[in-house]
Amino acid sequence: MRKRTAERSQYDFRIGYYSCLLVLQGNGRFISKEGTVITMQAGDLVQRLPDRMHSTEIEPNGEWIEFYISIGYPVYHYLKTLGIINSDQEVQPTRHTSDILNEFAALLNSLKAAVDERLPYLLMKAQELIIRLHGSVHHTQREHNDHKISKACQLIGGANDIHYDIKEAAAAVNMGYENFRKLFKATTGVSPQRYHIEHLMKQAKMMLLSGLPIKQVAVSLGYGDIYSFILTSIIIGSVSLFF
């Protein structure tokens, strides 16, 4: 979204859901409900937290461009409890690549032409982009993270299908599967297969919290039937999906 004039600034703004925006170009100021002023610039992730008053003031030079995604409160609360969303800092610098910008554009184009049957998949994509944006914030805070495993986590996390072959992630980072599996577990604390399934269960919970029926969620994640999906959630310890 392009904001060319000062009139596009928003003062004493409050919403009942969660929205975050990535500043692609331009400068501005974020003013918290306490009156704290924080500079906004290209590369910053700016959070509009539910029911929290704030203001965003855009420099009126016609350069401001942003991409934003909004989600409902239940999904926001879930991501916050997982530690993915840090609500203590409303403006955070990110470290991202041009790939994610291309994905933003692709998502926007897909939404413009989407039929109802495609919406669950686009919902997953939007939620994945939010997680990746916050992951890029965490990456700037943990420079010691192994680059290959970080890339593998992105690949596995972006595979919203139970049939994804983990060997594809190993090949993408130029590692043999056994060495990759050992390094992945040593770095993350879980095996790549477990990481993949846990990611799918997180996606499933966000979709269910968004109001999608369980059958549609199961099919969207590649399960042949509801029972296999429920069994996986029980084995992985995500029974709370259904309560």
The H or E element containing residue 93 is strand 91-93
Q: What is the dihedral of CA 32, 34, 35, 38, to 10 degrees?
A: -40
Q: Is residue 17 part of a domain?
A: yes
Question: Which positions ≥6 away from 109 have C-beta within 8 Å?
Answer: none
Query: What pLDDT shows up at residue 132?
Result: 85
Question: Which positions ≥6 away from 40 have C-beta within 8 Å?
Answer: 23, 27, 28, 29, 30, 46, 56, 91
Distances in whole angstroms, Cα of residue 22 to Cα of each of 27, 37, 83, 93, 187: 12, 18, 19, 9, 28
Q: Is residue 90 part of a domain?
A: yes
Burial degree of 184 (CB within 10 A; 0-12, 13-18, 19+): buried
Is pLDDT at 18 greater than 90 in this prediction?
yes
CATH number at residue 137: 2.60.120.280
Q: Is residue 138 part of a domain?
A: yes
Query: What pLDDT shows up at residue 173?
Result: 87
CA distance 77 to 27: 29
Please compute the mean of the pLDDT values over residues 45-59 and round it to a whole number: 94
Q: Is residue 111 part of a domain?
A: yes
Is pLDDT at 145 greater than 50 in this prediction?
no
Q: Is residue 33 part of a domain?
A: yes
Please compute the mean of the pLDDT values over residues 193-213 and round it to a whole number: 86
Distances in whole angstroms, Cα of residue 27 to Cα of each of 75, 88, 220, 228: 29, 22, 39, 49
Over residues 160-190, the pLDDT tens digits come to 888 889 999 999 988 888 888 988 988 888 9
Question: Which positions ≥6 away from 236 have C-beta within 8 Å?
Answer: 194, 197, 198, 201
Query: What pLDDT shows up at residue 7?
Result: 62
Q: Residue 57 sits in which domain range?
A: 2-144
Query: What pLDDT shows up at residue 47?
Result: 95
**Domain total of the chain:** 1
Q: Is residue 47 part of a domain?
A: yes
Is pLDDT at 10 greater than 60 in this prediction?
yes
Please compute the mean of the pLDDT values over residues 225-239 and round it to a whole number: 65
Q: Is residue 41 part of a domain?
A: yes
Q: Which two tokens stand for residue 134?
A: 């916050």
Query: What pLDDT shows up at residue 2?
Result: 63
Query: What pLDDT shows up at residue 4?
Result: 54
Scanning the structure block, which residue is given the tokens 């060495």?
179
Please compute the mean of the pLDDT values over residues 178-203 and round it to a whole number: 88
Q: Is residue 237 part of a domain?
A: no
Is pLDDT at 217 greater than 70 in this prediction?
yes
DSSP-derived letter for residue 175 is: -
Helices (H), the chain: 73-81, 98-113, 119-141, 147-157, 166-172, 177-188, 192-209, 214-220, 226-236
Query: What pLDDT shows up at residue 175?
Result: 83
Helix axes 192-209, 119-141, angle to 10 degrees: 120
Please compute the mean of the pLDDT values over residues 60-85 and round it to a whole number: 88
pTM of the predicted structure, to 2 decimals = 0.59
Is pLDDT at 139 greater than 60 in this prediction?
no
Is pLDDT at 144 greater than 60 in this prediction?
no
